[in-house]
Structure 1
Amino acid sequence: MLYKSTRGNTEVVNSQQAVVKGLCDDGGLFVPVDFPNVKLDLDEMSKYSYKEVACKILEIFFGDFSKEEIKNIVDNSYDGKFSCEELVDVVKGGDGFFIELYHGPTSAFKDMALSVLPHLMIESSKKISGDKEIVILTATSGDTGKAALEGFSNVDGIKIVVYYPSEGVSQTQRLQMVSQEGNNVKVYGINGNFDDAQRAVKEIFVNKELREEMAQNNKAFSSANSINIGRLVPQIVYYIYSYLQLVNRKEISLGDKVNVVVPCGNFGNILAAYYGEKLGLPVNKFICASNTNKVLTDFFNTGVYDRNRDMDITISPSMDILVSSNLERYLYEISDNDENFVKSAMESLQKDGRYEVRPEHMEKMKKFYGGFCNDEDTLTAIKEMYNNNKYLMDTHTAVAYKVYEDYVKETGDKTKTLIASTASPYKFSEAVCKGLGIYEDGLTDDEMMDKLHEYTSVSIPKNLFELRNKKAIHNDVIDKSTIIENLKKYLELGE
């Protein structure tokens, strides 16, 4: 399996090099030179455990590893870290089936891939980088940061630096990051939003002078965001596995199509489902759910991507994003791998903050439905789902469910539906308490967690309960204009 840039750079690398590099030299994202011509044997795979499905998918995309190496990576990634025996649970709630992706060490869906990426990167680095130190740069809108810190903490030969918007995450998300221990981790809050952090990280990757300085010091950059193909591929697994769970429970027959609903910010999670369909996952409709930062909704409805708008700070902060990086890989797909079109679109986005797809692209985009949900409707969805079904959703999952309800009302489509449930409700206990009508002024985050538990009897995840004993270690909040300056200081470059 060889990988190349979405933007036409002639650079071609193997899967191990793609994982270690993270981002292409021209700023593009790594995609397969030839997408795997594989149709999964879903009948056979219906007997597989989650780990066995993971091995199958990783073998397809990371052929530079032996089957034994892939098995070891999967075993080491998932052993003992998840509170759910099969890592994810598929639970009926209302008219949908929720793929609970938050039973890992940080109570968010990012654990499913960021438990795998460190092991992929370590093994890849051994083979291609020798003793070079890898510096992971990660911009986060809330959940990726902690999951990456957890995965890479105290890993020899790797440093990890995380940037989060200082005013754009929940208190629980912030404490998860700033209390992270490890001799190789650094966390910065920035005076700016997620897009500012993500833009700065991408600019670092294409900064030739900085890359050369890193090389002179025997270091190299990589990424833990879903721009890294090693982060994206493991996300395909849970869509395949969840579909097979519906088959095994006789909710659907093998070959029946399902709808897939995903709360979307950076577009990586739903892109993984789309890649799953290319491998044979039967999908009727991809439902892309946004909060009021609805650039993706507008894109699927009009064919115009336009980030020229103010960013709303919402109660679903992991989706407070106006530049959805993984959409670039989708543009590559719908344009029939037209690198020149993708490059032109990304240049327009950089220069003018917008781009527009062609009519023939719009035809292919009909597989997707875009909708959005405001904060008020998010809170209502939480309340109605719990009151009617005793199922507790976090704010992001509630956005997804409300958009799914809107889709059904609009289309009448009753296809069985998988909904990505992306975080524990306890990561956003203040908003969830407001939705349920049990919020009280003056309560601390810990007290709100306790109140939510008392009201619902839903267990508080151990990692979140233990936060109440954690102290902030990483207190730096920097201006977005000083990100490179502070990074060089931390890495002791130019001294």
Structure 2
Amino acid sequence: MQVLSTRGKMNSIPATKAVLQGIAADGGLFVPESFPQIDLEEMKAYAAHEYDILAARVLQYFFDMDEAALAEITQQAYGTFDDSRVVPIKELTSVDYVMELTHGPTLAFKDMALQVLPRLIRKALDIHKQQENVLILTATSGDTGKAALEGFKDVPRTAIEVFYPADGVATMQKLQMVTQEGGNVAVCGVRGNFDDAQTGVKALFADNALKAFLKEAGYTFSSANSINFGRLIPQVAYYIYAYAKLAADGRIENGQEISFIVPTGNFGNILAGYYAKRMGLPVKKLVCASNGNNVLTDFFNKSVYDANRTFHKTMSPSMDILISSNLERLLFEVAGRDDVQVRAWMNALKQNGRYEIPAETQAGLRETFWADFCDETETAQTIKTVFETYGYLIDPHTAVARCVGEKYRRQTGDGAPAVVVSTANPYKFTQDVLRCVSGQDVPDAFEAARQLSQITGTQIPPQIAGLHEKPVLHPDCVERTGLKTAVEKFISRMGD
């Protein structure tokens, strides 16, 4: 498949090449030249087997690669998960389901794509005979960083540096990153919030002097954020799988519309659901669930994207975002693939922190999307209520989705089946989850994990239990203006 840039659609390149580039030369994001159409009966048959088989088939729609090579990629990627089903689906009621994307090596949904992406990059390097190695630069609001580090750890011909907001991630999330092992990895805190880190990383991609420095060192840029086309597409598979699995198990009729409720920050996860719908998946509504940083709620309901607002640090830090990068891909589609208009909106966002879309465009968006947010009190109550009602422990991000899903049902009267997308294991946020369930405030994250396990009867994942024994290998922290220097130091070290 060929892909286009959201800001210059006249020049297309192969999807495998886009995986290596990460972001388009004009600053835009890569999108498919057209959307392939899935066969629901075929997907239902695949869902009766292992997840990796369906995932390989979905990747085949987008990447011109050998079928056996893609099957090998997905088999290796999902063979690392702690549940053989890879994506278990929990039934709360006959119309309320939870899709668990939390069984990968870092306990977050980012593993669904970031166990695939490094393997895609290795294949793409061979396909295009690229001589330079790949430097992966990534900004993280919590989970992407660890998942990317784990996925790229010691992968030949790659190096990865992750930037995170120094005081904007949960204790366990930070420990997972700063203790990361691997000879080709670096982690650096940024004194600021996620938007500062993300803006800084994007600026590095456009820095010609840094590009020349990297070229001399034998490297070229790419990204593990969902701005990378190769990171986005593997996420499409689990929407198709969840639907096909529900149909295969007789819980829905094949062809029946269902909704997905998605905790949303950078807009990559829910965009993958939109891509699945464009491919023919019978999606009734994509419910965009935000926390107190409700810039997306206002956008979908008021036609204005305005990042000029107070930034809130919440117990769902992976959603503490005011600039949702992947929204650009959706705007490209709803604007009739008008790259000139998209550039104008993105320039307005960069210069003024806001832009406004026409009322008819907003009306088109609301045919597919429904948006609301959940504050901290509601999030806490949802964690407590779900555990007391179903004996099911969820993390704050999943709680935001559950809360907004209930608002959606109340306000619309829609009783159709709906799937909450669960994005992280609750033990990544032990102190907050313990406080929500029991009212106890425990300063030490590991003691909180012990008490949470005792109270709820759930097991502490080994990835969390063993963290306190690991040494901190990446203590560096820089100002917002220090990212370039950090990259130069890292690449110089890689060359020693």
TM-score (norm 1): 0.97
Corresponding residue of 1:176: 176
Equivalence for 2:202: 202
Please name the residue that 2:229 is paired with: 229
**Superimposed CA distance per residue, residues 236-284 of structure 1 (whole angstroms, 9 cap, x where no aligned partner):** 1111111122112222111111010000000000000111111121111
Partner of 1:429: 430
What is the root-mean-square deviation of aligned Cα atoms in Å? 1.6
Matched, 1:87 2:115: no
Equivalent position of 1:103 in the other structure: 103
Q: Which residue of structure 2 lines up, in the alignment, with residue 281 of structure 1?
A: 281
Deviations 1:98-153 (A, max 9, x none): 10100110000000100000000111112225331110000000000000000001
- Shifted more, 194-203 versus 5-14: the winner is 5-14
Cα separation, 1, equivalents of 2:290 and 2:210? 36
SS at match of 1:492: helix
Unaligned stretches of 5+ residues in structure 1: none
Structure 2: 5+ residue runs without aligned partners? none
* Structure 1 match to 2:374: 373
Q: Specify the code of the residue in structure 1 equivalent to 2:411.
A: E
2-side partners of 1:43 and 1:238: how far apart?
13
Deviations for 1:426-449, whole angstroms, at most 9, x for unmatched residues? Answer: 00011111111242444x111111
Contact 1:39 1:279 in 2 (8 A): no
Secondary structure of residue in 1 paired with 2:288: strand
Which aligned pairs between 1:204-353 and structure 2 lie closer than 5 A? 204-353=204-353
Q: Secondary structure at 1:144's aligned position in 2? A: helix
Q: Is 1:152 matched up with 2:152?
A: yes
Are 1:473 and 2:454 an aligned pair? no
Q: Name the CA distance, whole Å, in 2 between partners of 1:51 and 1:154.
A: 23
- The CA deviation at 1:335 is 0.9
Identify which range, 453-462 or 404-413, moves more after superposition: 453-462
Aligned to 1:399: 400
CA distance in 2, matches of 1:279, 1:242: 15
Deviation, 1:209, is 2.6
Moved more, 410-419 or 248-257: 248-257
TM-superposed CA distance for 1:410, in Å, is 0.6
- Give the secondary-structure state (helix, strand or coil) at the position aligned to 1:399: helix
> Distance in 2 between the 1:35 and 1:106 partners?
31
- Partners of 1:381 and 1:398 within 8 A in 2: yes
1:97/1:204 Cα in 2 relative to 1: closer, same or farther (>3 Å)? Answer: same
Match of 1:54 in 2: 55
Verify: 1:114 aligned to 2:96, yes or no: no
Local SS of the residue matching 1:221: strand
Partner of 2:28: 28
| TM-fit CA distance, 1:235 | 0.5
Q: Using the alignment, how far apart are the partners of 2:276 and 2:160 within structure 1?
A: 29
Letter of the structure 2 residue corresponding to residue 477 of structure 1:
C
Q: Which amino acid aligns with 2:401?
A: A
CA gap of 1:67–1:441, structure 2 versus 1, over 3 A, is closer
- The Cα offsets for residues 333-366 of structure 1, whole Å up to 9 and x where unpaired, read as 1111111111110000001111111222112111
CA distance in 2, matches of 1:52, 1:369: 32
**Residue identity opposite 2:52 in structure 1:** K
**Following the alignment from structure 2 to structure 1, what is the Cα–Cα distance between the partners of residues 403 and 466?**
32
* Superposed CA offset, 1:196-231 (max 9, x none): 111111111122232233223321010000000100
Percent of pairs identical after alignment? 43
| 2:8 alignment partner, SS class | coil
* Residues 390-417 of structure 1: per-residue CA shift (max 9 Å, x gap): 1111000000000011111111111100
Partner SS state of residue 487, structure 1: helix
Relative to structure 1, the CA distance from residue 209 to residue 430 in structure 2 (aligned partners, 3 Å threshold; closer, same or farther) is same
- CA-to-aligned-CA distance 1:69-91 (integer Å, 9 cap, x gap): 11111122122x11111111100
Using the TM superposition, give the Cα deviation of residue 467 of structure 1 relative to its aligned residue in structure 2, in angstroms: 1.1
Q: Is the 8 A contact 2:4 2:13 kept in 1?
A: yes
Contact 2:431 2:441 in 1 (8 A): no
Tell me the SS of whatever aligns to 2:197.
helix
Which shows bigger deviation, 212-221 or 319-328? 212-221
